[in-house]
């Protein structure tokens, strides 16, 4: 019989099998030790990975784990976000691209080759 997942993040943390490595897609952890990643300590990393490389199920999982307000707080501070993800986040959070740190940093960089 399947157990219903806890809605409360505090209850989710009590489950030893409820680590990012157990609940998110395996391909998100290609370059890190899966056992060392923690929900709270590595929140910006996990949110960024899910947004750029995750599946819709991964997006739904981080929404349950963190909530949209926390995700919004973290994504505006990410240093890099691809253009498609940035457009998605602008739509979801009703923000402008200029509200994101990654967009401001991108504007500071000069393209020296026009081809």
**What mean pLDDT is reported for the chain?**
81
Encoding tokens for residue 25?
Answer: 């897609």
Q: How far is CA 74 from its chain centroid? A: 8
Q: Which residues contact 33 (CB under 8 A, 6 or more apart)?
A: none
- pLDDT, tens digit, 9 for 90 and up, residues 65-74: 999 999 999 9
Length of the chain: 115
- Whole-model pTM: value is 0.74
């Amino acid at each position: 019989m399947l157990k219903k997942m806890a809605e409360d993040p505090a209850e989710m943390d009590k489950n030893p099998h409820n680590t990012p490595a157990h609940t998110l897609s395996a391909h998100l952890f290609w370059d890190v030790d899966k056992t060392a990643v923690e929900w709270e300590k590595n929140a910006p990393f996990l949110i960024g990975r899910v947004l750029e490389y995750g599946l819709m199920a991964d997006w739904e999982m981080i929404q349950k784990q963190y909530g949209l307000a926390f995700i919004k707080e973290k994504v505006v501070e990410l240093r890099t976000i691809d253009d498609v993800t940035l457009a998605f986040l602008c739509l979801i959070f009703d923000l402008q691209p200029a509200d994101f740190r990654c967009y401001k940093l991108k504007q500071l960089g000069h393209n020296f080759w026009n081809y």
